[in-house]
Amino acid sequence: MSSKLSNDFIWGFATASYQIEGSATADGRSPSIWDTFSHDTSKIADGSNGDIAADSYNKYKEDIELLKKYGAKSYRFSISWSRIIPLGGRNDPVNPKGIEFYSNFIDELLKNGIIPFVTLYHWDLPQALEDRYGGWLNDEIVLDFEHYAKVCFESFGDRVKHWLTHNEPWCVAVLGYGHGAHAPGRTSDRAKSDVGDSTTEPWIVGRNLILSHARAVKLYRDEFKPKIGGQIGITLNTSWAIPWDSTPENIDAAQRAMDTSMGWFADPIYLGHYPESLKAMLGDRLPDFTPEEIELVKGSSDFFGLNTYTTNLVKAGGTNEFDGNVIKTFVRPDGTSLGTQAQSPWLQAYPDGFRQLLGYLYKRYGSPVHVTENGFSVKDEGKKSIEEAIHDTDRVEYYDGYLRALLSAVNEDGVDIRSYFAWSLLDNFEWQDGYVTRFGVTYVDYETQKRYPKDSAHFVGKWFKEHVEE
C-alpha cells in the first residue's frame, strides 16, 4: 500500500466572502446580516467590521498568485449572496456585476490550473431577507435559497464541479440564534439582545437550513448534473469528543456531544432521522420533517464535508443544550492539557483526535470525506511584528501533526478522504473576534493590505508535494 495520497487528491486553502472581500457597497452589493451585525461595534472584539477586510475583491489576482506559489490544487471560497441577488429573494433582480466578478474570478483560477471549490452560503444572508420575513426563521427562505443556488449553478456550473450548499449550519443556528454571538445576534440573553428565543429558534433555523440544502441539491441533480456532472454536498463542523474518563455517564456524554454538534445535521442528511439523544433532550421543541421532506433530505449530499479544528474531553453535567448538556475541557484527569493552546480559547492542537474523528464519521455515515477546513490561530500573533509573525512555529507544528493524522486515516484506517483545505489562505475578519485573531498562512498587514507568506504556507505546500502521488 502506498504511503502517499492518490494523485487525484485535492488540496488547497479556504476562505469566506465576508471575511476577505471588503468592497461592501461596490458594484451593486447590498448589506448582509454580517454588515449590520458588525457595524454595532459592541458585538465585535476590536470594534471592527468587514467593510475592507483583506480587500480581496480588488486583490483577487494577487491572492490567486499566492495559491499558485504555494502549489495549491484547489481553492475553496464562498459567494456573497447579496452580490448576486442584492435583495435576496426569488422575485428580486439578479446583479450582473456580481455575476461578472465571480465569473472572472473562476476564470482566473482555472487559467492558473486551480480547481474552484465553491460554498454558496458562508453566513452572509442578505439583510433584505432578514428585514422582509425574519431570514432563516421563516420557511420562505427555503425557496429563496434554492433560487439563489439556481442562479449560481446557471452562471458558474459550466466551470465549477465542486459545490457546497452551507458552511457549518450548527454555527448559523446556535451562534446566530442561541448565543447571539454571530449575526443576526438573536438570543434569550437580554443583556445581549432585545429579541430571540434560544429555546426554540435555533432548532427552527436548523430545520430550514437542512431543507434549503436538500432542495438546492435536488435541483442540481435534476437539472444540472446530467448535463455538466459535478458533485454537491454540505459541510458540517464538529470537534471530536473523548470521554473524560471511562465511566458510563461520561462515555454517554461524549456521544451526546457528537450527536448535538454533528448528528443534528448529519443524521437526517445521511441516515434519514434525528439522533435519539437529541429527540430525548428537546422533545416537541425539535421540529420534525414530514415523510416527503425526509425523502428529500436523506441522501442529499454526495460526500461528507467536514470542518474540524480540535478535540474536547467531555464529562456529564453541563447545562448548555447546544453542546448536548455536557462539560467540555482540554484538561485530563491528571491535570495535563491535550495540546498547544491557540489564540482561540476553544482550540488546542490534538492530531490523534482528528484521526479518530475521521474514522468515526466514515464508519457511521459511509460517505467519502472532504476536509473543507482545518487550521490554527497562533497565540498573540496579532501583537507580533510582521517579522515575528511569519515564523508561525505553532501553526507549522499543528499542520505537521494533523496532516500526518490524515495520512494515517487514509492509509492505515481505510478512510476515503478526497480533499483537504487549510484554513485560511489569508488572515481575515475573524467574525466576533474582528482582526484580533489570525488563522492565515499568509500574513495580511491591514494598513497596507500587503501579503507576507508565513512559514506554514511553505510547509503545507511542501508537505503535499511530498505526499501526493505524481
The angle, 0 to 180 degrees and rounded to 10, between the axes of the packed helices 169-177 and 201-219 is: 150
Rounded distance between C-alpha atoms, residue 181 and residue 186, angstroms:
8
Q: What are phi and psi of 56, to 5 degrees?
A: -70, -20
Residues 193-208 as b or e (16 or more Cβ within 10 Å = b): beebebebbbbbbbbb
- What does the pLDDT read at residue 103? 98
Residue in the block written with cell 420562505: 140
**What is the pTM (predicted TM-score) of this model?**
0.98
Q: Which pLDDT value is given to residue 323? A: 96
| Domain 10-239+347-467 of CATH type 2.30.110.10 | no
**Are β-strands 442-445 and 417-423 bridged in parallel, bridged antiparallel, or unpaired?**
unpaired
Q: Helix, strand or coil for residue 315?
A: strand
Could you give the CA distance from residue 149 to residue 155 in angstroms, rounded to a whole number?
10
Q: What is the pLDDT of residues 393-452, one digit of tens each?
A: 999 999 999 999 999 999 999 999 999 999 999 999 999 999 999 999 999 999 999 999
Which residue from 270, 238, 294, 256 is spatially nearest to 368, judged by alpha carbons?
270
Q: CA-CA distance, 279 to 286, in Å (whole number)?
A: 7
Give the pLDDT confidence of 76-115 residue by residue, as tens digits.
999 999 999 999 999 999 999 999 999 999 999 999 999 9
Tens-digit pLDDT profile for residues 177-228? 999 999 999 999 999 999 999 999 999 999 999 999 999 999 999 999 999 9
201 is catalytic: no
Among candidates 2, 130, 29, 73, which has minimal Cα distance to 411?
2
- With a cut of 60, say whether residue 1 has pLDDT above it: no
- Marked catalytic residue, from 168, 201, 321, 430: 168
Residue 170 grid coordinates: 450548527
373 tagged catalytic:
yes
- Main-chain phi, psi angles of 347, to 5 degrees: -125, 120
**What pLDDT sits at residue 87?**
98
Angstrom distance (rounded) from CA 442 to CA 434 = 17
* Cβ atoms within 10 Å of 126's Cβ, excluding its own: 28
| Coil, strand or helix at 124 | coil
Q: What pLDDT is recorded for position 201?
A: 98
One-character DSSP codes across 18-83: HHH---TTGGG---BHHHHHHTSGGGSTTS--SSSTT-HHHHHHHHHHHHHHHT-SEEEEE--HHH
Output the pLDDT for position 2: 65
Return the percentage of the chain with pLDDT > 90, whole number: 99
Predicted confidence at residue 343, as pLDDT, reads 98
The whole-number average pLDDT for the span 144-151 is 99
Question: Mean of the pLDDT values across residues 12-21?
Answer: 98
Per-residue cell: 275: 439522533
* Rounded alpha-carbon distances, angstroms, from residue 274 to 75, 121, 206, 260, 269: 32, 23, 12, 10, 9
What is the per-residue pLDDT across 339-373, written as a single tens digit (0 to 9) for each? Answer: 999 999 999 999 999 999 999 999 999 999 999 99
Write down the catalytic residue from 146, 321, 373, 430: 373
Which residue has cell 437539472? 223
Query: Is the C-alpha dihedral spanning 392, 394, 397, 401 positive or negative?
Result: negative
Mean pLDDT in the chain? Answer: 98
B/e letters for 395-415, b = 16+ CB within 10 Å, e = fewer, are bbbbbbbbbebbbbbbeeeeb
Please give the average per-residue pLDDT across 154-174, as a whole number: 98
Whole-angstrom CA distances from 297 to 44, 242, 273, 291 are: 35, 29, 9, 10
Q: Domain segments of the chain: what residues?
A: 10-239+347-467
